[in-house]
Each structure stands twice: as structure tokens, then as C-alpha cells.
Chain A
């Protein structure tokens, strides 16, 4: 225990914390249908708070200095295929659980007064999405992981298609679903190849990540598995050239939903958890591919910001830019790179997710997030403008914000392993920062020209809570990152040691 806090309550050791965490939102989703529709959002808020509490309990019960995987729960699920219900957390994943819970809470607060039609359906889909997302972070059985991975698509499809922000939303929803279903195929095939190429006698299927990590595969199989996994995860990340769904998605979705999709970087997590450790030799052979994709993605995202007039699309490009950096750092295959990548992803959840939530507040007031429809917004909405600035600065990696402690080791790792790409990354990041500030200036400063902007009121108390929480987290983590790094570091070192075997 590195956090010098007394445990608020002593939990019995056999309590299946992770299962409780995964199934609490589902339970809430079912409970929604027992109560009248007007009580729905309060019940959802309660469920999300419970989820947050359980995820904090998981964090307190996690011992960073202990074994790699903790709080393991293993139950046979499909015994004849050797598939288990196997969940556990390690230092790389444990922080994502409270981050997910927080982001969903923020998303609920941001859309508090917006869901009028069929609220119970809307909220039960949202809670199902949360269950699936938490499951992705906890699952250590590849089939179970794939189950949760695909399970996220159904609620997303409905949330976007039915409650979308534009007329094109159903189309964007279908496109997203189809692209992600197609992306699932290489993943599934990779997992099947992995499972059936275990060198055991007699040959048995194995989907257990812990066992798979212990048994290295032949080189040719590794190459196949790595390429298939990379294809599947790169779609979700998204890496250029597979990113085309993201700008469309971020425009068609309500901000609270975009915050969830962009804020939770499931694709990079998949690379860290599955693609690279399962095929370490192939991944290291193809470091150029990973680093190249990362660099191209970073530069593409940075340049993409420059051409935008819509803040939400610009933010989507900024996030593309930063996952590029994370992937480039991962290509160093060092503990430093993994640690930086995880820290950056966590910071994303707060900074990018928060920025999308704030832009959603802006859209609700002015009907637009296009800079042509704004101008001078800082005059009437100073709090909102400063919130966007802080989140945006965190998004471009300003020292003192939560992104910096992640970005710094990433750049160091990249400069050591791929010097040229690292230089290009620095260059790209400064373009991104410049592009963001230029957009910000056009949107928030200058004379007020439009009546919607002139009449808009600043953040209301409910929204201020979101803003204050965001600032505390961004600045707090930025100034004092040590406790979080202490949780990530041992796992990142174990991760890197596993690769260099």
C-alpha cells in the first residue's frame, strides 16, 4: 500500500470485487425498469456513484508491490472450449476503472436535462455500455474480452442512432457498428489462432491470458497474431489510415457520448494488454510498423487540427494526434514507454473527455461548436471558456497538467528508440498546440457577433461541479503525479520484462 490512507472499511478478502463492479451497472439497468421513468436519472446517478465507490475499493485493495495480477476471479464458463470467466486487474488497468466510473458520471451530469424521450431505455443502454467497458479492462480471458469488446457496440449503436445530435446520426451509427464488427473479425481469428497453437500435449485450446503469456509461440504464428491484432485494435484506436469514422462520429453524437468514445482509449489498451505481450518477438521485429503508424497518426492528427472550423472535430483530431504519440512510445517496448502510454491514456479520460463535456455545454447554449458561429464567447461565458482552455492545454500536454507526466516519458522513450520519429513527434505536438490555440482564440475571443452568444449564460451550478472536478484532477495529477505512477510503474516494468525474454 503506497497511498498513506487508512482503509475506510475492511473488506472481506473473498469478496468478488471485480464481478461486483462489472455487474453493478447491469443491475442498475434492470432496476430502472422497476421504477417510474421520472426517477430514472436519479437511480442512474446512484448506480454510477456505487460503481465509483466499488472501483475505489478495488484501487485501495490493489497492492502495487504485490503480484502482477490481483483480485483474480476464475470460474469455468464454457468448459468444453476451456473458456473461463477470468477477471483480474494489474497496475496497467486498475486506474482505468475509477477513470471510467468518473467519466460516465460526468457524462450523465452533462446530459442531465437532455434525455426526454424513453429515458429508461437510454439510461439502461448507458449502464450496459459501462458494464461492458469495465469488463474490457478486467477481462483476462481472450473470449471474455472479446465478449465485452463486442458488447459495447450494441448500446453505442442505439445511443447514437436513436439519440444522436444530427439527422445523419443513424447513418453514422450504422457505419460505426459495421466498421467495428469488421474489426472484430481479425481479433477473433487472432484469438482462435492463439488458442489452438499452444504447444501442449495433447493439444488443448487455451484462452487464458496468464497462461498464454507464459508460453511463447513460434515466430511465424506470432507474426500472424500480431498483424491481426494490430488491424483489429488500430480500427478502434484509431490509427491513420483507419480513423475515418471518428470525425463523423464526434459530429453526429451528442457530446456526452463522444466523451465516452474518445475519452476511453480502448484500442491502445488492447495493444498494451493483448497485441504486444502475446506476440512479443513479432512486435519487436515490426517496431518500425508500430512506430511508423504512430508517427503518421500523430502528424496527421496535428495537421488535421489546422484545417478545422468545428471545435469538436478539432478535438477529435487532437485525440488522434495523442494516441499516435502513445503508440510511438509503446514501440520503444520499454517500461518507460508503457508507463507513459498508460498515464497519457488516463489523462485523456479526464482532459479530452472533459473537453467534450464542456463543448457539449457550449453546444446546448449556442447550438453550435463551429468557430464561425461563436466568437467572443469568453465575454459571456468566462468560466466555460477557461474550462475549455484548461482541458485543451491538458490535451496538448502543457506542463503542470495531467498529460505532461505521461507525455514526457513517452517522448523520452521515443527519442531513445526512434530518434527521428521522436523529433517528428515533437514537431507534430507543437503544431497541434499551435492549431488548438488558434482555434481557441477565434472561438472565444474577439467581438461578440451573434445573439445566441450574447444571450448565453455561464455555467450553472450542476455544470460548475463538473468543471471544478475536472480542474482538480487535471492540475492535481499534473502537479503531484507520484502516487499514480507508483501504481503503474511495477506493472509497466513487468510488462517490459515479459517482452525482452
Chain B
């Protein structure tokens, strides 16, 4: 089992950039919080979000994606602080920064209570996400995860959109605390195994653990704890119960986007689960893939049953997450690369759709499909953007979903044969089916007699938010090459552990 290599930050830049990536959102949160509800708070929030995005771009330009090593590494052994990035984590970091920036734009629109506080919590959540995406220490991963969950919990409690929020909140805590505990348990098992092998010296650092993976039953236990811990987060069928409630009753757009826009669960599987429990992963691969296949269709069927646009989108997220798991567990370099790119694509597209649902809710006060009609006439731009995001989820050529789905299918053909691949691809068409169906009912159906909704035209801010998301998506979709190059070597490095 080969170890991991890293390149320290001194060799690549004159400043430790990664620590700044983590500190900017935290400092931003403190500053915004200090401004309270003054209008400067809103501006400061946007400035910090933008600064984070720019810094992420700078880091991306500094690393060399053709090297398999983790790069820009920073260590501070006293507190076991150890961070490093490669192409895979940078994709997610850029996505996090972009989505947070869009959320600050989205959040400043009218009708949002205490936007200053909201931005502070948002930046805390961003700090948690970015921290999870760059640390290579399992304990730090757990800590950042707790930080982010706390921020989302706070969002749900304070800014929920309906009376039923208590139920959504309770579900959220039950599931997430359970998932977090499972993951932490997995970390303990791994650390213990390391301590056994190294005379009682405990470590949770990925670089050290990877050389001393536990054997036999302990590895299986660690795999199950880590995998299901992350599966709750992702969310993977059948552990998705928290998402539909939260999507329906929680703060529209921001809360779901934070939880599922950035697929930390998928990232965690690629970064930690695959290298740390390789034998168990290979052994359980057929079962995981089987469950994921079932999940695609089961949740697609559930999505067809929904009468609420927000719940429907939640099931769409669960359905396509199953496809990501198939990609990761193909244990094939194209599959992993495709899954990562597809996760980023889904994150961007799904968040775009959440935003539009939020805009619709502000106009109509409802997201029940049978109460919405004829929106296309009033807000054509948002309608077309909604459909474009939907088609990106389905993997339409011209969106990033196409090349990514293409890679996943290629890996699936190679590993599982043509028939499961066709089944997985058909699941995608099912997703197209319910998204189109929702689109038709909400946007294209003729206005009902006497129930014409008084709907405002598209506002400049809405053009801006959806336009940025749409432009980013189409640009990445047509010029996929840089993103493929960014992730190629890193995916190969991970798949190399499973060469058969």
C-alpha cells in the first residue's frame, strides 16, 4: 500500500494561503457580526465572500494538477493541524466559495429578516465547509463538520419559513447527530488500530493512517461507520429522511444549498474512506452499488409523488446522489473523476434551482405545484434558467454534467457491464421526467381561471444571481478541459490503490 506524498507551501507560494482560506470566512463572520444590522454588515458579508472566491482562484492557479501529491501543505504539529489540497478538493472549495457568494447576493433581497446575522452564520458555515475540504486530519474534519452543522442548525431555527419547522429541526438534529457520531466512531476505530500498531501512539492524520490500515473485522467496522456517517450527510438513500422536511419547511435555498450544494459526503468518501479501508471497500462494493441503483429508482418514484416543488427537488438530490456513489464505487479513475465533477455540477445546478424556487416563493407565497401556474409568462428568464439547471442535472451536452456523466458511464461499462450502466442512465431519464413534469406544472401550464397570480417581473438581482450561476455552468460545460486536467491526476492517484 503506497503512502501519500505532499508538497509544502513554501515551495509553491510565498504565503501560507490555505490558512487564509480558512480564516477569511471566520474573520468575515466576526466582522459582520460586530456590525449588527447596519447596512455595512451586508456589504462586508459580500466583500468577504468575494475575497474568499478570489483567493480560491489564486490557490487553484498556484498548484500543479499534473502531480499526484497533495499540495500547498501546511503543518503545525502541536495541535495536529495539517491541511493540503489537490484538484479534487479545489473543485469543491471553488464551488463552496461561489455558492456562498451567490447566497450573499440572494440573501440581500427584500423580505429577509436580519440579513446581517444571516450573513455571519453563512460565513461560519462556509468556514466549516472549507475546513472540511482541506484538512487531512480526521479529528479536524469532525470538528469542522460540527461547526458547519451548528451553523445550519442555527439557520433552520431562526430563519425557517413555516410553522412546521420544529419537526424539520428535530429530524435534522436526529439524523445529523447520529451521522456525525457514526463518523466519529469510525475515526476512533482507525486511531485505535494505529495506536495498537505503534505502541500506544495515537494519530488521526491521513498520511500516517494510510500506512497502517486495520485488518479484518476492524477495517469492516471502520468502513461501515465512516461510510454510513457520510451517507447521512450526503444524503444517500435510505438515510435521506431529514432532507425533504428541511427543504420544505426550512429557510428556502440557503439551508438546503449549504447541506447538499457542496457534496462533502462524496468528497469524504473519496478522500478518507477509499484510502483508509481499501479491502472493505472492494468487498462491499457490489452491495453499495446495488443499493445506489435501487436508490436512483426508488427516490425517482418518490419524486413523482410529490406535490410540493421543494420536496420534489429534495428527492431529485437524493436520486442523483446515488449516481455519484456508483461513480465513486466503480473504483475506476474515470468513475471517480466523473463523480467529483458531477457532484460539482449537481451542486451548482441544484443550488440554482433552489434559488429560483426561493424567488418563486417570494412572489407567490407557496411552492405547492397545484397552486402554481403560468409563471413562464411573467418570469421567462427564471423559467428558462430553471429548465437549464434541470437539464444540467440530467447531463445535457453543453453543461458540465455531460462530460462528467460520460466519465461515470464509461467507468460503469468497464466495471459493471452494459446492463447496469443502461439502468443507471435510465434513472437519469427518470430524473428528467419529474423535473420536466414539475417545470410544466409550475411554469408552462395555463393560468387557472380566477386564480391568476400577481407575479412581479424578474428583478435585476435575480438576473444577476441566476445569470452568474448559468454563465458559470455553461462556461464550464463548453470548456471542460481545464477542470478535467485539474482532477485527472488526483483521481488516478486514488484509483491506483484498487488496480486489479
Contacts and interface: CB of A to CB of B under 8 A. Distances in A.
B25 to A, nearest CB: 32
B391 to A, nearest CB: 7
A178 B436 contact: yes
Chain A: interface secondary structure? helix
Contact of A192 (B406, B426, B437): B406
Nearest to B394: A181
Contact of B480 (A78, A154, A167, A171): A78
B410 interface: yes
B398 A151 contact: yes
B484 A78 contact: yes
A487 B380 CA distance: 45
A381 to B, nearest CB: 32
A134 to B, nearest CB: 16
B312 to A, nearest CB: 15
Contacts of A150: 396-398
A500 interface: no
B485 A174 contact: no
A186 B421 CA distance: 10
A154 B426 CA distance: 19
Interface residues of A, number: 35
Interface of A: 76-81, 118, 121, 143, 146-147, 149-151, 154, 157-158, 161-162, 167, 170-171, 174, 177-178, 181-182, 185-186, 188-189, 192-193, 196, 224
Contacts of B387: 154, 157
B376 interface: yes
9 contacts: A78-B481, A80-B484, A118-B380, A146-B397, A147-B398, A150-B396, A151-B397, A192-B406, A192-B409
Interface in B433-453: 433, 436-437, 440, 444-446
A192 B413 contact: yes
A193 B391 contact: no
A80 B488 contact: yes
Contacts of B413: 189, 192-193, 196
A177 B406 CA distance: 20
B397 A162 contact: no
B471 to A, nearest CB: 14
A192 B407 CA distance: 9
B337 to A, nearest CB: 10
B396 A78 contact: no
B80 interface: no
Given A80-B488, A150-B396, A192-B409, A185 B432 contact: no
Contacts of B484: 78, 80-81
B425 interface: yes
- Which of under 10, 10 to 19, 20 to 34, or 35 or more describes the interface residues of B? 35 or more
Contacts of B398: 147, 150-151
Interface in B398-440: 398, 402-403, 406, 409-410, 413-414, 418, 421-422, 425-426, 428-429, 432-433, 436-437, 440
A210 B475 CA distance: 28
Contact of B444 (A79, A161, A182, A188): A161
A189 B481 contact: no
Contact of B429 (A76, A78, A143, A181): A181
Contacts of B485: 80
A170 B426 contact: no
Contacts of A143: 397, 406
A189 B418 contact: yes
Given A80-B484, A178-B436, A192 B397 contact: no
A185 B426 contact: yes
B409 A188 contact: yes
Interface of B: 376, 380, 384, 387, 391, 394, 396-398, 402-403, 406, 409-410, 413-414, 418, 421-422, 425-426, 428-429, 432-433, 436-437, 440, 444-446, 480-481, 484-485, 488
A136 B384 CA distance: 24
Given A80-B481, A154-B391, A174 B437 contact: yes
Contact of B376 (A78, A147, A162): A162
B369 to A, nearest CB: 14
B432 A181 contact: yes
Of B396, B426, B437, which is in contact with the most chain A CB atoms at under 10 Å from its CB? B396
A78 B397 CA distance: 13
A174 B438 CA distance: 11
B422 A189 contact: yes
A177 B484 CA distance: 29
A224 B417 CA distance: 12
A252 B321 CA distance: 36
B380 to A, nearest CB: 6
A192 B410 contact: yes
Given A143-B397, A150-B396, A186-B422, 4 more contacts: A78-B484, A161-B440, A162-B444, A182-B426
Given A80-B485, A150-B397, A185 B440 contact: no
A181 to B, nearest CB: 5
A188 B481 contact: no
A50 B479 CA distance: 28
A385 to B, nearest CB: 35
Nearest to A179: B429
Contacts of B446: 167
Contacts of B394: 181
Nearest to A195: B410
A142 B425 CA distance: 19
Task: State the 8 A-B residue pairs at the shortest beta-carbon distance, nearest first.
Answer: A147-B397, A185-B425, A80-B484, A150-B397, A170-B444, A182-B429, A174-B436, A78-B481
Contacts of B406: 81, 143, 188, 192
Q: Which of B394, B422, B436, B446 has the most CB of A within 10 A?
A: B436
Nearest to B402: A147
Contacts of B437: 174
A78 B403 contact: yes
Contacts of A192: 406, 409-410, 413
A155 to B, nearest CB: 11
Nearest to A178: B433
A423 to B, nearest CB: 38
A76 B432 CA distance: 30
Nearest to B407: A81
Contacts of A188: 406, 409, 425
Nearest to A177: B436
Nearest to A154: B391
Contacts of B376: 162
A80 B425 CA distance: 23
A196 B481 contact: no
A123 B426 CA distance: 32
Contacts of A167: 446
Contacts of B428: 185
Contact of B445 (A76, A170, A186): A170
Nearest to B480: A78
Contacts of A154: 387, 391, 396
A146 B396 CA distance: 10
A213 to B, nearest CB: 22
Nearest to B488: A80
Nearest to A169: B444
A76 to B, nearest CB: 8
A224 B418 contact: yes
A150 to B, nearest CB: 5
Nearest to B403: A78
A170 B414 CA distance: 39
A478 B197 CA distance: 87
A191 B442 CA distance: 36
A170 B442 CA distance: 12
Contacts of B425: 185, 188-189
Contacts of A81: 403, 406, 484
Contact of B440 (A147, A174, A189): A174
Nearest to B396: A150
Nearest to A117: B377
Contacts of A161: 440, 444
Contacts of B480: 78
Contacts of A181: 394, 429, 432
Contacts of B403: 78, 81
